[in-house]
Structure 1
C-alpha cells in the first residue's frame, strides 16, 4: 500500500493520523510504502477501499 494513496484517500496526513489514532509525525515518517501492520489496519477501517498488498518474502524460505 502506497503512502501517497492513503493520504489522498483520507484527505491529508493529519486525517490519516486521526483515523489511525496516531500522531501525524508518525505518518510523516513512513517511507513510500505504509508499514505492513498499518496497511492491514487501513484496509480494515476503509472496509477494503484500500488494500494491503503484501506477499510473503520468498528470500527467507
Structure 2
C-alpha cells in the first residue's frame, strides 16, 4: 500500500497516530483517467487512512 499524506507540514500517521514532517519528493497523481497501456484506472484510496491501493485484480484489492 502506498500512503499519500495531504497537508503542508504535519499529518497524522495512520499506524501510530503521531505527527510526521513532510519530506521527500512531490508527485502529481492523475485521477479519473481511462485505462490505457501506460495508465491503470483501478487505483482507489481509503477514506480512513488515505492510503492508496490497486483494486484491479480479479478478487479486488
The verdict on a shared fold, with TM-score over 0.5 as the criterion, is: no
More strand by share: 2
TM-score category (smaller protein):
under 0.3
TM-score under structure 2 normalisation?
Answer: 0.24
More helix by share: 1
Answer 1 or 2: higher relative contact order, Cα 8 Å, separation at least 6. 1
TM-score, normalising length: structure 1: 0.24
